[in-house]
């Protein structure tokens, strides 16, 4: 295959300094690569179950009605001034109430330091830098598997990273024994990354009793829990249920930190709206911690964006809009749950000899299917179905119009 020649440089040869000659192309993002391949495919039957963004049953992006109404309320009534380094104060207050509960003692005692962040990614990165600055010799323990960007975030913050077992391929479920065994070996003072709900990419969450057992281990071994909560409300349709892990740890008296994102549960993907909160010993400590988080944010991005935070604040502070949001987020969660049932049912009707109960036992946007890389490659080449090569299916891309086709294709490659 011929390769097009690079365009000639307009810089005179003698003026070239060679500053960037050592720079090589970065590795392609595996998820974005799936989308690019899907868009380049002209087959009318093509299906994209690789992207982690909600779609309706027609496969279209969704803007929630409560968000549209909030935009109408905001339109033309707000200035465009900079926010403080810590972001919109009312947004932070409403976010932590959603995470910890409206009447949580830690909020009444003003023991939570909270700052607005660039969605959940920004919250994780801000905390990773905070950890490195104030606990420079500590480790972060990350589950296997996890969202790939978690590794990038703590690596770039130069925090020593270790892993712990989480998923058991043989059962397509939680490796609770392995998890507990690995975390028992973690040195005192270690930090542990936990997915509050709808674990990405597996969709496998601990039960309430397992969370309680983990909480006791964290207390006895003095481990610090860091919760990444990207799917509150989106997992089960119930924001309280999806926050149960955090509430269990709070009831046991832990200090902890939480990264929140409003990308999935409010559909504000492009607005980059998030919150980082850290539970402290007392109110003065919370003031100190917040000041340091702001200090870290200052040279990164100075202050967070305004519009998305105003939308979330408007929705969560208006009783009617908040109630509408609860209903709309449940509709999204219920559609995902329904597609899980439909995919499992279609596979079973085809007479598949493989067990597929894990499809409905898992929760949230993703199904960790158990498909091998070779099987995923066959799905793409033979059936024009696109997903990441680890077999993760974005259930948001499954619709009543394509679920039967998807099931038939999976059945063919797993015979």
At 90-142, the pLDDT tens digits run 999 999 999 999 999 999 999 999 999 999 999 999 999 999 999 999 999 99
Q: Which of 78-82, 160-164, 249-253, 394-398 has the lowest mean pLDDT?
A: 78-82
Q: Residue 247 is part of a domain; what is its CATH number?
A: 3.40.640.10
| Distances from the Cα of 378 to the Cα of 29, 162, 332, 371, 375, angstroms | 21, 34, 30, 11, 5
pLDDT above 50 for 382: yes
- End residue of a domain, out of 317, 350, 367: 317
* Better-predicted residue by pLDDT, 292 or 3: 292
Domain-embedded: residue 13 = no
User: If you count DSSP H runs as helices and E runs as strands, how many of each does the chain have, helices first?
Assistant: 16, 13
Work out the pLDDT band at 2, boundaries 50, 70, 90. Answer: very low
**What is the three-class DSSP state of 358?**
helix
Q: Give the whole-number percent of the chain exceeding pLDDT 90.
A: 91
pTM beyond 0.75, yes or no: yes
Domain-embedded: residue 235 = yes
Q: Residue 401 is part of a domain; what is its CATH number?
A: 3.90.1150.10
- State the DSSP string of 208-222: HHHHHHHHHHHHHTT
Alpha-carbon gap, residue 248 to 276, rounded angstroms: 19
Please say whether the beta carbons of 161 and 140 come within 8 A: yes
**What is the three-class DSSP state of 344?**
helix
1 Cβ contact partners less than 8 Å away, ≥ 6 residues apart: none
Work out the pLDDT band at 172, boundaries 50, 70, 90. Answer: very high
Domain-embedded: residue 78 = no
Which residues are catalytic, by number? 147, 228, 264
Tally of CB atoms within 10 A around 161: 18
pLDDT digits (tens, 9 = 90+) for 65-98: 999 999 999 998 888 999 999 999 999 999 999 9
pLDDT above 50 for 47: yes
pLDDT digits (tens, 9 = 90+) for 312-361: 999 999 999 999 999 999 999 999 999 999 999 999 999 988 999 999 99
Residue 368 structural domain? 30-62+333-414
Please say whether the beta carbons of 378 and 393 come within 8 A: no
Rg of the Cα atoms in the chain: 23
Domain-embedded: residue 323 = no
Alpha-carbon gap, residue 210 to 248, rounded angstroms: 10
């Amino acid at each position: 295959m011929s390769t097009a020649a690079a365009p000639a440089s307009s810089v005179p040869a003698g003026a070239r300094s060679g500053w960037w000659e050592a720079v090589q192309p970065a590795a392609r993002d595996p998820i974005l690569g799936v989308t690019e391949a899907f868009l380049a495919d002209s087959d009318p039957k093509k299906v994209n179950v690789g992207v982690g963004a909600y779609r309706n049953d027609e496969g279209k992006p969704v803007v929630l009605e409560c968000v549209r109404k909030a935009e109408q309320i905001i339109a033309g009534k707000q200035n465009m001034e900079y926010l403080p380094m810590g972001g919109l104060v009312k947004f932070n207050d409403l976010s932590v109430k959603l995470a910890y509960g409206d009447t949580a003692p830690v909020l009444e005692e003003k023991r939570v330091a909270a700052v607005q962040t660039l969605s959940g990614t920004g919250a994780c990165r801000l905390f990773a830098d905070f950890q490195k600055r104030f606990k420079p010799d500590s480790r972060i323990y990350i589950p296997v598997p996890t969202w790939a960007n978690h590794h990038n975030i703590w690596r770039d913050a130069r925090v020593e990273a270790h892993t712990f077992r989480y998923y058991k391929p043989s059962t397509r479920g939680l490796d609770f024994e392995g998890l507990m065994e690995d975390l028992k070996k973690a040195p005192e003072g270690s930090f542990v990354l936990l997915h509050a709900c709808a674990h990405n990419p597996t969709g496998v969450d601990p039960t309430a009793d397992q969370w309680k057992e983990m909480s006791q281990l964290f207390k006895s071994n003095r481990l610090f829990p860091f919760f990444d909560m990207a799917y509150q409300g989106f997992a089960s349709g119930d924001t309280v249920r999806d926050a149960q892990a955090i509430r269990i740890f709070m009831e046991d008296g832990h200090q902890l930190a939480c990264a929140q994102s409003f990308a999935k549960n409010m559909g504000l993907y492009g607005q980059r709206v998030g919150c980082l909160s850290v539970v402290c010993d007392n109110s003065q400590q919370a003031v100190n911690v917040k000041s340091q988080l702001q200090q870290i944010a200052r040279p990164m991005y100075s202050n967070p964006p305004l519009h998305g935070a105003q939308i979330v604040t408007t929705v969560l502070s208006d009783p009617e809009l908040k109630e509408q949001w609860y209903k709309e987020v449940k509709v999204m969660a219920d559609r995902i749950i329904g597609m899980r049932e439909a995919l499992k049912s279609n596979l079973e009707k085809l007479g598949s000899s493989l067990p597929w109960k894990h499809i409905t036992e898992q929760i949230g946007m993703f199904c960790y299917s158990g498909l091998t890389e070779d099987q995923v490659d066959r799905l793409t080449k033979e059936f024009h179905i696109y997903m990441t090569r680890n077999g993760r299916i974005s259930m948001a891309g499954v619709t009543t119009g394509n679920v039967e086709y998807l099931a038939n294709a999976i059945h063919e490659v797993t015979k």
